[in-house]
């Protein structure tokens, strides 16, 4: 396998430009994109784990009507929380979400901290979720790498090797961190997720409408001016 390298600056700029231009026209209208409340972002991210967006949207709205704050969730009976979660499945998720809420109430006044180290100290908040909260709630420059994003970055910037290997996952994290722009990081990360979810899908990717011209051969195109 060829040596794994970080995309050079011209490739990063071209990728960002094309992705953000595409997102302006094709970005999805989702309720959690209309808030910067860290708790609301957390709820959406936990719900979206292994669950399709169209199933999450109505449950997200219902959940926040019933538990609008960390404090409300922390004080709710466990059985009620499990029942409210139904029918999303993977029922460890509401338990973890309530555990995070209780810890946040006990240690941080019912708020989520913004720094990565503290966020990842919560059981149930891993590297991706911490990055999502920092990017989407606090508007910090933070990388994200979920299944959809990893697929996009692998196809565009690597295209060979085992995408599931530990070394490849670590490399894709490095690529994601290098790509996040200093400005518009929120839109960039949302766009990455949308591209992976709607165009660069696992089976039958829609390469003909991909913003990366000629599918994943976009790297052969001339670089735009800095």
Positions marked catalytic: 45
How far is CA 7 from each of CA 166, 174, 176, 219, rounded to the nearest angstrom?
A: 19, 10, 10, 10
Of 5, 7, 35, 2, the C-alpha closest to 19 is: 7
Whether residue 74 contacts residue 100, with contact meaning beta carbons closer than 8 Å, is answered with no
For residues 129-142, one letter each, b for 16 or more C-beta atoms within 10 angstroms of the residue's C-beta and e for the rest, the string is bbbbbbbbbbebeb
Element (H, E) at 12: helix 9-26
Within 10 angstroms of residue 197's Cβ, the number of other Cβ atoms is 19
């Amino acid at each position: 396998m060829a040596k794994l390298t970080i995309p050079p600056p011209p490739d990063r700029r071209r990728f960002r430009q094309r992705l953000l231009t595409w997102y302006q026209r094709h970005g999805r209208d989702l309720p959690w994109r209309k808030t910067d409340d860290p708790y609301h972002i957390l709820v959406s991210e936990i719900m979206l784990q292994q669950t399709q967006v169209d199933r999450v949207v109505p449950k997200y709205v219902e959940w926040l009507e019933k538990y609008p704050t960390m404090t409300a969730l922390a004080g709710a009976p466990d059985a009620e929380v499990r029942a409210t979660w139904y029918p999303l499945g993977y029922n460890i998720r509401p338990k973890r979400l309530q555990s995070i809420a209780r810890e946040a109430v006990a240690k941080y006044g019912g708020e989520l901290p913004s720094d990565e180290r503290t966020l990842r100290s919560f059981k149930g908040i891993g590297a991706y979720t911490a990055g999502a909260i920092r990017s989407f709630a606090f508007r910090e420059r933070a990388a994200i790498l979920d299944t959809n994003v990893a697929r996009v970055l692998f196809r565009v910037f690597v295209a060979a090797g085992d995408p599931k290997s530990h070394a490849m996952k670590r490399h894709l994290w490095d690529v994601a961190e290098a790509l996040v722009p200093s400005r518009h990081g929120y839109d960039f990360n949302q766009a990455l997720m949308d591209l992976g979810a709607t165009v660069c899908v696992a089976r039958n990717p829609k390469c003909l409408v991909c913003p990366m011209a000629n599918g994943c051969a976009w790297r052969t195109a001339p670089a735009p001016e800095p």
